[in-house]
Amino acid sequence: MRYISTRGGAPALTFEQAMMTGLATDGGLYVPETVPTLTTDQIAAMAGQSYEQIAFTVMRPFIGDTFTDDEFRAMIDRAYAGFGHDARAPLVQLAPNHFLLELFHGPTLAFKDFAMQLIGQMFQASLTRSGERITIVGATSGDTGSAAMEAFRGLDNVDVFILFPHGRVSEVQRRQMTTPVESNVHALAMDGDFDDCQAMLKDMFNDTAFRDGVRLAGVNSINWGRVLAQVVYYFSSAVSLGAPHREVSFTVPTGNFGDIFAGYIAKQMGLPIADLVVATNQNDILHRTLETGAYTKEGVTPSISPSMDIQVSSNFERALFYAYDGDGAAVAAQMDDLKSGGFEISQGAYQYLRDTFTSGRASEEETSSAIKTYLAKHGELLCPHSAVGVHVAEDHLGATPMITLATAHPAKFPDAVNAASGIKPPLPPRMADLYDRDERVTRVANDFDAIATLIKERIAL
Ligand SMILES: *Cc1c(COP(=O)(O)O)cnc(C)c1O
């Protein structure tokens, strides 16, 4: 199994190389050269299996000989052992043909734990084998940073630095980043907003001396290893509703397009998925693109579902690659046009995207109102991101069972949930002491040299 760049101008890599590299040298994203398929019998055999068993069957064809079967099974087991629910990704019923896939039982209460916990294990195994040590720097508006620190804390060959905008993440998100006691994880509260943090990260990757000096690596959502880990719960949930003998549909609260793209891969692998519905908040670039065929940047307006507040959706490039039938030059040309504000998708590619994805958006009022209604009518307290999902899903309910992905626990966004429902959701008992733990955080200015020096000093210790 080889991985190729969506822009067609970088060398093909193994799974391990693609995972450790992140972005391709031509600026593209790695995708598998061919998507392996599972037979109907293989999918049918997943009925009644554990999440871990299904995970092994789904991901094994993608990893080539990077790990032995025994090694890979052990990593999967370790990755999900810390989850607060035996099913890992339980499915609950909301209405006659509408189901909620709870992806928030991991250690930081958001779906990002599914991928981050596993790539933590895979990075560790790979680095132990090569004897290398790396520095992961990430920028976060909240969920990615806490999931990364949780996944990598205490690992031997990795230091993790997370930049988050000072004063602009929720208290739960901040505490999840500032309370781990392990000395290899470092929370940096930077002056500025999330875009400033992302720009800082970009500068670090563009500074060759710094990048090579600290052996910089990234774990943002374009990492193929993260996409792969998310394919699994499409299978586990669909099978529990009767796949492969019965079709299901999915609605996915979407920001960077990583999660919904994993659903697309599940479908390519042979899972009978009828609709893949992209749900956006008021930052609706993806919904507008699917409606019009034009991908045009607008500014970001902060919302109550902040993990979906994006201006450009990085993983959408992977969908474009398939829409252009693997034509890397065409994808590269479109991405070049994006620098000047946007691009028009060609007729054939646009038709492919329309046939593959549908979409909808939820305004702020619709999101709050969904939180309120689903509590009253369905007994389910939703986080604002999941509320965007159920609102959009309602337009697509029909004979096929609909599964909406619940991407975070309501307790992670207590203020928005409280404002909409009048209830301040409590943290799960296993992390109820989060508010009592000591915090460890370094306040930093929006200053490249200062942050670079701090990182170099810390890793020399
Ligand atoms: C990251 C995130 C999303 C968006 O997922 P993408 O893969 O970026 O589309 C949605 N909800 C929550 C809670 C998130 O943390």
Pick the range with the lowest mean pLDDT from 242-251, 395-404, 427-436, 442-451.
Answer: 427-436
> Which pLDDT does position 221 carry in this prediction?
85
More confident residue, 339 or 81: 81
Q: What percent of the chain has pLDDT over 70?
A: 100
Residue 85 above 70 pLDDT?
yes
368, 370, 372, 374: CA torsion to nearest 10 = -160
173 within ligand 1 shell (Cβ under 6 A): no
Q: 24 C-alpha vs ligand 1 centroid, how far in Å?
A: 23
**Closest by CA position to 361, among listed 418, 305, 411:** 305
- What distance in Å separates the CA atoms of residue 440 and residue 180, rounded to the nearest whole number? 8
Q: 183 C-alpha vs ligand 1 centroid, how far in Å?
A: 28
Residue 3 above 80 pLDDT?
yes
For strand 402-406 and strand 3-5, is the pairing parallel, antiparallel, or unpaired?
A: unpaired
Helix, strand, coil percentages, rounded to 5, for the chain: 50, 15, 35
Q: 208 C-alpha vs ligand 1 centroid, how far in Å?
A: 30
Catalytic residues: 112
Q: 41 C-alpha vs ligand 1 centroid, how far in Å?
A: 32
**Closest by CA position to 412, among listed 4, 155, 104:** 104
361 within ligand 1 shell (Cβ under 6 A): no
253 within ligand 1 shell (Cβ under 6 A): yes
388 within ligand 1 shell (Cβ under 6 A): no
Q: What percent of the chain has pLDDT over 90?
A: 88
Q: In ligand 1, which atom is closest to the CA atom of 258?
A: 7
Q: pTM for this one?
A: 0.96
Best residue for ligand 1 mutational test, from 221, 284, 307 (most atoms within 8 Å of Cβ): 307
- What distance in Å separates the CA atoms of residue 103 and residue 273, rounded to the nearest whole number? 19
Residue 9 above 90 pLDDT?
yes
More confident residue, 170 or 61: 61
Residue 461 above 60 pLDDT?
no
At 190-221, the pLDDT tens digits run: 999 888 898 898 899 889 899 999 999 988 88
More confident residue, 309 or 345: 345
| Mean pLDDT computed over 230-249 | 98
Q: Which two tokens stand for residue 154?
A: 């205490």
| Mean pLDDT computed over 261-283 | 98
Cβ-Cβ contacts under 8 Å for 340 (sequence gap 6 or more): none
> Which pLDDT does position 198 carry in this prediction?
84
At 112-146, the pLDDT tens digits run: 999 999 999 999 999 999 999 999 999 988 789 99
Residue 323 above 90 pLDDT?
yes
End-to-end CA distance of the chain: 39
Q: Which CATH topology does 88-108+225-421 take?
A: Rossmann fold (3.40.50)
At 22-58, the pLDDT tens digits run: 889 898 999 999 999 999 999 999 999 999 999 999 9
> Which pLDDT does position 310 carry in this prediction?
85
| Mean pLDDT computed over 398-410 | 97
Q: In ligand 1, which atom is closest to the CA atom of 252?
A: 9
**Closest by CA position to 420, among listed 352, 367, 456:** 367
**DSSP assignment of 68-108, as one string?**
-HHHHHHHHHHHHTT-SSTTSS-EEEEETTEEEEE---STT
Residue with tokens 């193994």: 14
- Mean pLDDT (the chain, rounded): 95
DSSP 284: -
408 within ligand 1 shell (Cβ under 6 A): yes
Helix (H) or strand (E) holding 234: helix 224-240
